[in-house]
Amino acid sequence: MITPANTSPSSPEPTTGRSVESAESWLGRNRTSKRRLWERLNPRHRKDLRMLAQALALQQNHARLPDPVRARLDSALAELDRLLRRIAAILAEVTRRTPPPG
């Protein structure tokens, strides 16, 4: 009978059971530098991530609202969406009718 070699698969998770400081230190990169991943991001990407986080927080708050308030908010958002589609259609019509400059 052939016995398999005693190899332990490398786990992508920390073996110590304690939380790590950052994802980069978890991956074994950037341990000596004080610069965090957030600081290395493009400011536009930081803004996008911040907006996504705020949208998630708002979505969670929306789920906690009482039913009548949630219904009013949903109807207001639907009305806003309808108005945005009308504005987009009007702008598309104006750009189609306007001759190019020059």
Domain locations in the chain? 23-64, 66-102
Low-confidence residues of the chain, pLDDT below 70? 1-36, 38, 100, 102
Q: Rounded to an integer, what distance in angstroms lies between the CA atom of residue 54 and that of residue 50?
A: 6
Q: Rounded to an integer, what distance in angstroms lies between the CA atom of residue 100 and that of residue 84?
A: 25
Per-residue pLDDT of 38-64, as tens digits, reads 677 788 888 888 888 888 888 888 888
pLDDT of residue 54: 87
Torsion angle, alpha carbons of 36, 21, 16, 24, to 10:
-10
